[in-house]
Structure 1
Amino acid sequence: MRYLFLFILFVGFQKTFAQKLDGEILDQLSREPVGLVQISTEKLQITSDENGIFSIEIDGVKNIIFSKTGYEELVLGVNDIIIENSKFIVELSSNTIDSDLESGIISLSDFDLSDDANSSDFASGQLSAYNDVFQSIAAYQFGIARFRQRGYDSRNNLVLMNGLELNKLYDGRPQWSNWGGLNDVLRNREYTKGLEVGNSNFGSINGSTNFILRTSEYQKGLRVSYSSTNTSYTNRILATYSGSIKGDWHYTVSASRRWAEEGHFQGTFYDANSFFLSLEKIMNDFHSLNFVAIYAKNRRGKSSPNTQEVYDLTSENYNSYWGWQGGKKRNSRVKNLNEPIFILSHNWDLNERANLKTSLLYQFGSMGNSRLNYSGGPNPDPSYYRKLPSYYLRNYSERADLSDYALLKFTSQSNYNQLDWNFMYQSNMLSNENKRSVYMLYEDRVDDDLLQLNSVMNYDLNDNFDFSLGVNAKKLISNNFAYSLDMLGGDYYVDTDSYRSGDQAQNDLNNPDRVIGENDKFKYNFIVRSLNLSAFSNITYTNNKYSLFISPKYSYRSLQRDGQFRNGVYPENSFGKGEKKEFYSLSGKAGIEYRITGRHIININGAYVDRPPTIRNSFSNSRENHNFVNNLDTEKIYSLEGSYSMNVKPIKLNLTGYYTKFQNMTEISFFFAQGLSGLEESSDFVSEIMSGTQRDHYGLEFGAESNITSTIKLSSGVAFGEYVYTENPNLYLT
């Protein structure tokens, strides 16, 4: 089984002449009693004892509601209760997951945990898969390569820890590697799907996952595990210990290491170490204080995207980013992540009906992606288009010998189709007397400093009304720059742009023709400052037949660029503080759940989301100037979904229809282009900006599963979706 369901068994139910229901509540996996379960009807509310024993009057009652923290609320119609052999079994899905089983968390490889868009989409899908029939099929059977649920990316899935939002302000996506490998301590979570609103957050349009990091709720004891795979990393060892000491102190320590000499793609390596520490002091029956530290250092070699021609000439696991050096494979594209997280949380039970949860987060560190830089020398990429046979067939069709020669070199010379590190070292050492580097290795660095505060109050007004109110504040200082790593045998590098001339070639006019060595900032250097404030509320009305909710949200975001270099192309618009943009937005959600019976449920939810743009989609070319995208404004999202769920043994199914309209979106792509003015020699790095983009997403999702035996399950899933651009966007290059 790929994900964890906790079930509750109601054993020994007996209907007496007094219309009383007696039973015992058990956990199906552990067979241990589940105590202190709240049981309510239209007439009264009781709580089972610590051993799970209960007795409740059901005379004149239509529905019975079972609820407990960590479990999905279950509503049973009295007429649906069928007692066979003095036993009545009810399945209750849990809000917690356990890494004992193959859940979405434990099955994530490094590829899934990377910051690439598709990988984040995949991880988000798997984390929400355990609790929905269709989503589980989509995450595990359909797979990332062929299917993206509802056509959404991971920006539309919200990930939190103790109510604190972890989606990056840069692009709106979660950075999974920041907590990768810590499966044992990420087992507890609150989950919402689709347009639902959670107790701790407004959510998004495709659900949310809130990891609960309270060490007092962890299972006590020592746990050690080892696993091996043939994906991105081949070995993983994980150890976790959780305990308590006098004075109501609880602590948890967890550490893991994941590594591989080489993954599926040639020249890719993996080296990740993760550490987790949590201390919790339960001060009294009303207050507890919890501290969490997470440190996950991750370093891995990347694999190259390739054209079909390159695959045909080599193999499906070919990677152009590496080459031999000193008898070892050296990868030029390495991602290095080092962003520790510190969280301090206070839980305050105001009374039996109200609680206040407040958390403070501080995160700092760096994320770097290395690459080769060349100035005055040929492109070192072995799969560069001018080195392929197709280039000569296209441009020198009368010279078949040239394409044949290119084919021969690419396929027969073992070092020709990989990076030639020796050539780059020799070029730097022999090109001139001063050993000025023609080739060098550097990384694109982002050093973030994030402070975040989140506070949520939940208040049960009465047996029918629940109220939640939450506020969130985030302050980000993000330093972006190029950082020199290795001169590759040379002594220095001159910080100029080889594709330009004169003053325009200067990356920093304040320091023209600046000479740099290793471990220096160069090329570009700027800071983005962002302040984000938001507040949401949620009012829910529930009775035995239906539930209603309405949730508004207000948010504010400011963005400002502070250039540290005066760029030669934009001397008056690159240095110092630029324009400050501010965005104000108001969003809302509403929904209804109608329970035909406890086993047949209909949900209808709608949302209007006014979403501020991300940092990535706000600046037209932040590495060179202060310019914002033309007519930049908030994105508008309209979404509606309806679903029918059935859970009648042995069949469980979901049928969902959805429609979402995205308006006023901005999409930016960065690439190197040749022939911009119609000439081969005209080359530059450009930003392609599409603004005013509109898309419609609509479709149907169907999932069904049936337990044939206790070990055999049949499942089926069908998805139909249309995701179309409905307006011609405004497109321009910078």
Structure 2
Amino acid sequence: MGKKYILFFVLLSFKVAFAQQETIFLGLVIDAKTQNPLENIVVSIQNSAITQLTNKSGKFELHSVIKGEQLLLLHSQGYRDLLLKVQSNFGQQVNLGILQLEDRFSDETPAALISLLESDLSDDNSSSEMTSGLLQSSKDAFMQASAFNWGQARFRVRGLDSENGTMMLNGMVMNKIYDGRPQWSNWGGLNNVLRNQEFSVGAAASNYTFGGILGTQQISTRASMYRKGTQLTFSGSNTTYNLRAIGTYISGMNGSGWAFAISAGKRWAGEGYFEGTSFDAESFFISVEKKLNKRQSLNFTGFYTPSIRAKNSANTNEVIQLTNEKYNSYWGFQNDEKRNARIKKVEEPLLMLNHYFKLNEKINLNSSVMYQFGKVGNSTIDYQSANSPDPTYYRKLPSYYSSLYAKDKGEFSGEFTPDYQNAEKSKLLFLEKPQIDWDAMYKANQSPILNSNGVITGYEAAQSHYVLYEDRTDDNTLAANSNLNIQLSENSAFDGGITFRNLKSHQFQYLTDLLGGQYFEDIDAFYSGNEAQSDLQNPNRQVKEGDIYGYNYNFLATTIDAFTQFKFSYNKVDFYLGQSYSVSNYQRDGLYQNGIYPITSFGKSQKVTFENFGFKGGFTYKISGKQWLFFNGMHLTRAPSLRNTFSNSRLNNSVVNGIENENISSAEGNYVFHSPKLKMRFTGYYTLIKNTTKTSFFYAEGIFDRGASYNSTDAFVSQTLTNLDKKNIGLELSFEYQISLTLKTTLSAAYGNYTYNSNPNVSITNDANVANGDTQATFDFGESYLKNYKQSGMPQQAYSLGLEYRDPKYWWLASNINYMTESYIDVSPIARTARFYKNSISGLVFPEATEEHALTLLKQEKFDPIVLLNISGGKSWRFSRKYIGLFASINNVLDLTYKTGGFEQARNANFRALNQDVSSGTPSFGPKYFYGYGRTYFVNLTISL
């Protein structure tokens, strides 16, 4: 018995000693409107592993082993985050009293991620969706403006693509290995279950990963973290979709330790904002958590979001002047219904199992396994021995007769003889049939049936000259990771993790519709003999619907990423240091033996391995309780994307010559001021990205000399840029002032200068050379003089002034005026090479290619400034425990027309050809442009039960 008492007193003394080395925070969390207690609210010490959940009574007891001034964060889906400054003194209990959380349902604007997803029209997922929030909790005025006001003009935070940010789901990286970017449509329609988000700013520390220079966006789908209840959402819009309906049920954690979250939705449009752009998408989501014991939980997440979206075309000024800014050349009438030839289909279900393990009050270990599979298809028309079905094909437009017609009379002679008569005829024919002629294609794929008298009695299917096919990507990704968070002492913490990902990506051409024909020949009609064969092991195939043809190969990739991070927190200073290591292995496995490259197309390529390191750090100086200074810096190397590693993956195993790891450096400095009435952030940043690679394909005229084996100066080529550097410098301002209890004003500004910082090397590959017996396929075109040209695709300066009124009776109204400028066209690199100025036959510089003339002809086009007025408002009602919220917005109230981007066509591949085309006044191969939405609306009704 004495031993028991001794043991009891020893344990008691340990408990007392330990209690003296911690601070206990107590509190009660309630709903600000209903005054009801809130369960499962996450209470945590900011930038640490110390967390606790409120119980059924809304109470929490948080034990902190960190001494000094700290930030206490209260977070839950559907509520505004509450961030409190608290003083931690060991051995004390601090009662924080009643803490009221305001719901976010009155702001029924979509989450930033989903907002950009549904308005993003780019096919390469290049827009910058990564938004971040101050102190990893709430989004400041600048980030709100970036997502909701500037996003419609394709504004990118700090001018960076989404490959420079890290997108995470339950701690698992979701950026694709293929191009480094998230597939945004994987999350389409899941708004209600993706609101549990955490953000890091730029290179700031993240608890989950090393991250990228744009920041980290982490979404949690843990079932117990959702707000209990049922929610129905109904929306209407005239942008990508017309109607949307979502239903969500959250069970909360029951007495048996189970929690469920289920959501399903539908979005559709017969026609979106642009002509012929239909949309059809479903979304299904489930999250199930089983609490194993007080320290461990298992959570399963699965979702499936199939979508079908019709695309819209980029158009030249000539086409826009003949039609309008909404014109879309990708569709035509079939049986009195609009049918679009360019359809993007995405079906990529995801399954994930997470294990949450709280070893003790200081250590958390979270691990996950993910499997994602499915397909992405982009359809278009293929044709053989027939004319182009594109209604805007250059030979069908007036400019062909008023400009390029003269070119056919002589090899870039400079002569110019407009044929206005045929130009007018061409204009009338185009206006008569401005869309795809589906009936004509079906007719071309059939042959007439003649009776004994030679009279046509009908038609029967014959060899197809036109078919519809998809460029398909069928991915299978298996990934596993583990993340460890340790509170080392009262002033220090450790984060670390490792992630393994394995990808098998099947890339192929898939025939979907013979368009009334019987079969299609699997050959390349531009070549003859063996060179025309897609697969020498199966020559002269006649393919039908559901067959693979053209190209067929697998990408195989394995990546391992690891990081460690140490964080230190003191009364006046916080700082952190992070490190990362990664290794990437890429390989191509050709499934067809291509006739042009019989040796290098079939079987596995060499394995390409990239090894990379990264370092980052930052510190915060707390001037006072209202003011902070913080600085972050990062330097890392990054493997090129799988997409840019192989120069012509559809035909062979060739790796880009001279490809290297990308080299990235970034630094930022911030001043922050927070008071009850004024919130302000001022940021300056610098980013340098070196050694990037980019591959593109196009048909070029006048690019080669006439060799013995290939008697033409024209060719369909692939262009690879290497050693391309980008420099981004800028300033950000976020200003929010509470004028009165009901009136608030915001001011946001982004001032950037985003340029190319090198003259990249240009390599041109001409497959026709090999097909015609030449041993050389790739040609070095030397440097492209791109240094100091502006990066394209986004406004480099943006300003927003907003005013918001919130009435105590739960209705609100807000307006924003936005000004965006310094947006530039994407220039053609080949037109900035020394070779561009030379006659491809004689090798001599064109006499008209003077320096003065070149500066005028090759000046980068700057788009007109954009002014957008946006208005939004909402009203909410409470009936007992039920809630109804109404939100409505009108964007671009003044219905202004503006360009969001564009690119120079590279078809005119020498100075004389381009000069002649431009000098005509109606160039056939002028730049193509994308246009933004005019006046649009969004209405959302939410019912919470």
TM-score by length of 2: 0.69
Matched to 1:308, the amino acid is: N
Q: Which residue of 1 aligns with 2:419?
A: 399
Taking the aligned partners of 2:512 and 2:607, their CA distance within structure 1 comes to 33
**Secondary structure of the structure 2 residue equivalent to 1:177:** helix
**Match of 1:600?**
627
Work out the CA distance in 1 between the residues paired with 2:175 and 2:359: 30
Residue 175 (structure 2) aligns with: 167
Q: CA deviation at 1:520?
A: 0.3
String of CA shifts for 1:173-232, please: whole Å, max 9, x gaps. 111111210111111122211101211111111111111111111122221111101111
Displacement of 1:350: 0.4
The residue that corresponds to 2:486 in the other structure is: 459
Structure 1 654/97 Cα, relative in aligned 2: closer, same or farther at 3 Å? Answer: same
Deviations 1:563-612 (A, max 9, x none): 00011111110100011001111101100011111210111110011111
Determine which of 706, 712, 719 is the counterpart of 1:688. 719
8 Å Cα contact 2:29-2:99 kept in structure 1: no
Is 2:313 the counterpart of 1:304? yes
Q: What is the CA–CA distance in structure 1 between the aligned matches of 2:83 and 2:678, rounded to whole Å?
A: 19
SS of match in other structure, 1:402: helix
Deviates further, 395-404 or 582-591: 395-404
Give the root-mean-square deviation of aligned CA atoms. 3.2
Distance in 2 between residues matched to 1:423 and 1:124, nearest whole Å: 45
Q: 1:728 to 1:553 in 2, by over 3 A?
A: same
The 5 Å alignment of 1:80-229 reads 101-105=108-112, 108=115, 111-112=118-119, 116-117=123-124, 121-125=127-131, 131-145=139-153, 147-229=155-237
Q: Tell me, in whole angstroms, the C-alpha distance in 2 between the residues paired with 1:48 and 1:363.
A: 34
Distance in 1, matches of 2:356 and 2:192, equals 22
Which of 725, 733, 736 is the matching residue for 1:705?
736
1:733 and 2:753 correspond: no
Q: Distance in 1 between matches of 2:517 and 2:730?
A: 58
Task: Give the distance between the partners of 1:47 and 1:165, measured in 2 at CA.
Answer: 26
Q: CA deviation at 1:146?
A: 5.9
Contact 2:240 2:272 in 1 (8 A): yes
Partners of 2:279 and 2:68 in 1: CA distance: 57
In the alignment, residue 733 of structure 1 is paired with which amino acid? I
Aligned to 1:528: 555
Q: C-alpha displacement at 1:103, in angstroms?
A: 3.8
- Separation (CA, whole Å) in 1 of partners of 2:421 and 2:72: 78
CA gap 1:54/1:104 in 2 versus in 1, 3 angstroms: closer
SS at match of 2:325: coil
Q: Secondary structure at the match of 1:135?
A: helix
CA gap of 1:314–1:615, structure 2 versus 1, over 3 A, is same
* Superposition deviation, residue 431 in structure 1: 8.7
Q: 1:303-333, CA deviations, whole angstroms, 9 ceiling, x for partnerless residues? A: 1111111111001111111111111111101
Matches within 5 A, 1:248-263: 248-263=257-272
- The verdict on how the C-alpha distance between 1:359 and 1:97 changes in structure 2, with shifts beyond 3 A counting, is farther
- How far off its partner does 1:676 sit? 3.9
> Structure 1 residue 162: deviation in Å?
0.6
Given that residues 36 and 52 in structure 1 are in contact (C-alpha distance below 8 angstroms), is that contact kept between their aligned partners in structure 2?
A: no
Alignment of 1:13-52 (within 5 A): 28=32
Tell which deviates more after alignment, 195-204 or 371-380: 195-204
1:269 and 2:289 are equivalent in the alignment: no
1:285 aligns with: 294
Call closer, same or farther: CA 1:62–1:353 in 2, change over 3 Å: closer
Q: Give the drift of 1:349.
A: 0.6
Per the TM alignment, residue 395 of structure 1 is displaced from its structure 2 partner at its CA by: 3.0
Q: Write the letter of the residue equivalent to 1:335.
A: K
Aligned pair 1:470/2:497, yes or no?
Answer: yes
Q: 1:437 to 1:22 in 2, by over 3 A?
A: closer
Judge conservation of contact 2:446–2:517 (CA < 8 Å) in 1: yes
How many aligned positions are there? 692
Q: How big is the shift at 1:248?
A: 1.0
Residue 421 of structure 2 aligns with an amino acid whose one-letter code is: D
CA contact (8 A) 1:113 1:175 kept: no
Q: Is the 8 A contact 1:120 1:174 kept in 2?
A: no
Secondary structure in 2 aligned to 1:124?
A: coil
Matched, 1:442 2:473: no
Pick one of 373, 383, 386 that aligns with 1:377: 386
Q: 1:65 to 1:277 in 2, by over 3 A?
A: closer
Partner of 1:718: 749
Deviation at residue 627 of structure 1 after TM alignment: 0.7
Counterpart-to-counterpart distance in 1, 2:42 and 2:717: 62
Task: State the one-letter code of the partner of 1:287.
Answer: Q
Q: 1:47 to 1:428 in 2, by over 3 A?
A: closer
Normalising by structure 1, report the TM-score. 0.88
Whole-angstrom distance in 2 between the partners of 1:556 and 1:54: 43
Q: What is the match of residue 442 of structure 2?
A: 425
Secondary structure of 1:266's match? coil
The CA deviation at 1:409 is 1.7
Q: 1:239: how far off?
A: 0.3
Deviations 1:346-404 (A, max 9, x none): 00110111011001100001000000001110011001111111111003434210111
Which of 313, 325, 334 matches 2:334?
A: 325
Give the deviation of 1:31 after TM superposition. 5.0
Q: 2-side partners of 1:338 and 1:146: how far apart?
A: 25
Are the equivalent residues in 2 in contact too, given 1:133–1:703 (CA < 8 A)? yes
Aligned-partner residue type, residue 288 of structure 1: S
* Farther-moved stretch of structure 1 (681-690 vs 240-249): 681-690
Tell me the distance in 2 between the aligned counterparts of 1:499 and 1:97. 60
Paired residues for 1:574-653 under 5 Å: 574-653=601-680
Q: 1:99 to 1:549 in 2, by over 3 A?
A: farther
Stretch of structure 1 that moved more, 547-556 or 390-399: 390-399
Output one character per residue of 1:62-114: Cα deviation in whole Å (capped at 9) or x when no partner: 84643456657544799xxxxxxxx999999x9x9779631434862664356
Taking the aligned partners of 2:731 and 2:643, their CA distance within structure 1 comes to 32
The counterpart of 1:665, out of the listed 692, 696, 705, is: 692
Cα distance in structure 2, aligned partners of 1:51 and 1:707: 30
Structure 1 unaligned regions, length at least 5: 1-20, 79-86
1:715 to partner: Cα distance: 1.1
Change in Cα spacing, 1:615 to 1:459, as seen in structure 2 (3 Å) is: same
CA contact (8 A) 1:137 1:703 kept: no
Matched, 1:505 2:505: no
Change (3 A) 1:131 1:681: same
Q: CA deviation at 1:249?
A: 1.2
Q: Please tell me the residue identity of whatever aligns with 2:428.
A: L
3-state DSSP of counterpart to 1:123: coil
Give the Å deviation of 1:123.
Answer: 3.1
Alignment partners' CA distance in 1, 2:390 and 2:280: 25
2:115–2:147 CA contact under 8 A, matched in 1: no
Q: In structure 1, what is the Cα distance between the partners aligned to 2:485 and 2:592?
A: 48
Q: Tell me: CA distance 1:695–1:47, structure 2 relative to 1, closer, same or farther (3 Å).
A: closer
Task: Give the distance between the partners of 2:760 and 2:379, measured in 1 at CA.
Answer: 33
Equivalent residue in structure 2 for 1:539, among 556, 566, 590:
566
